[in-house]
Structure 1
Amino acid sequence: MFKQILEWYWGENMIKKDTCEIYYYDEEKVNRIQGNLQTVDISSVAQMLKAIADKNRAKITYALCQDDELCVCDIANIIGVTVANASHHLRTLHKQGIVKFRKEGKLAFYSLDDEHIRQIMMIALALKKEVKINV
């Protein structure tokens, strides 16, 4: 009986691990991809995505996907924060090249710096609808 329990436990009914059970890697593949990593600026990409990863900055980015240009006061009201707080988030997004701004009199208007940012946001939203992301 004990042997049957062990076979059941270690057999098909055992929960599958999400890691390799042995250590083996494809040296050619690893070397090729490591070489490719040396040719791209992954650090800057990570910083850009990190900037958008903040909930309020993601809201700002999405809002700017909906309208080509918004003033700081509009953005503050849309995301429900003070103008000072919205300005802080916009400065972070600007430093990462996500948004650009222009002054018109006493108003500061922001827009997405590049169409690719809109595409990244819309793809991320579409992916979230299709795939349940475990958090």
Structure 2
Amino acid sequence: MKKESRFFKGLADETRLKILWLLMQRDELCVCDIMRVLGITQSKASRHLRYLSNLGVLSDRREGVWMNYRLSVAPGSPEARQLHLLADMLRDHPEARSLQTRLAQCIAAKERSGRPAADLQEEARLLCQ
């Protein structure tokens, strides 16, 4: 039961829950987007993303200096079912809705500018506060 224990331990952290929720909203997110929406440092975001990756629930892809993350659980797996339950639990939560709004604002600002994420870090951080 070590694997299951590690999985639920991974869900027991508020920052990791928020990261998972954000990744449930989009196919893929840059670590810079997660940083801006959650108002956390790159090192904190990377530490939590690494933990989730080590659990096997995320995959990553490098784009320039930034890493992009996506959920990567096998459909129908116990982990996928648990993440589905988590999504159901958070769907109407006020803080989850606020995170959705902030994510949409950050993504829209990035898309409007047409500039790479690295160039937008400070500008979007200010927009998303």
TM bin (shorter chain): 0.5 to 0.7
User: Is 1:103 the equivalent of 2:65?
Assistant: no
Matching residue of 2:96: none
The separation in 2 between residues aligned to 1:73 and 1:128, in whole angstroms, is 23
The structure 1 segments of at least 4 consecutive aligned residues displaced by more than 4 Å after TM superposition are 115-119
User: Is 1:49 the equivalent of 2:8?
Assistant: yes
User: Conserved in 2, the CA contact under 8 Å of 1:62 and 1:121?
Assistant: no
More helix by share: 2
SS of equivalent residue, structure 1 residue 81:
coil
User: Is 1:123 the equivalent of 2:82?
Assistant: no
The separation in 2 between residues aligned to 1:128 and 1:89, in whole angstroms, is 19
Matching residue of 1:87: 46
The separation in 2 between residues aligned to 1:63 and 1:128, in whole angstroms, is 11
SS of equivalent residue, structure 1 residue 111:
strand
Provide the TM-score with structure 1 as the length reference.
0.58
The separation in 2 between residues aligned to 1:127 and 1:79, in whole angstroms, is 19
Kindly tell me the number of residue pairs found equivalent between the two proteins: 88
The separation in 2 between residues aligned to 1:62 and 1:101, in whole angstroms, is 16
SS of equivalent residue, structure 1 residue 94:
helix
Provide the TM-score with structure 2 as the length reference.
0.60
CA distance 1:49–1:70, change in 2 (3 Å): same
Deviation digits for residues 56-92 of structure 1, max 9, x if unmatched?
0010011100001001110111222111110111011
CA distance 1:44–1:98, change in 2 (3 Å): same
| Structure 1 unaligned blocks of 5 or more | 1-41, 130-135
Identity within the alignment, % = 34
Larger radius of gyration: 1
CA distance 1:128–1:58, change in 2 (3 Å): closer
User: Conserved in 1, the CA contact under 8 Å of 2:16 and 2:52?
Assistant: yes
CA distance 1:56–1:43, change in 2 (3 Å): same
| Structure 2 unaligned blocks of 5 or more | 92-129
Matching residue of 2:24: 65
CA distance 1:124–1:47, change in 2 (3 Å): same
User: Conserved in 1, the CA contact under 8 Å of 2:21 and 2:87?
Assistant: no
The separation in 1 between residues aligned to 2:83 and 2:47, in whole angstroms, is 20
**Pairwise CA distance, 1:122:** 3.2
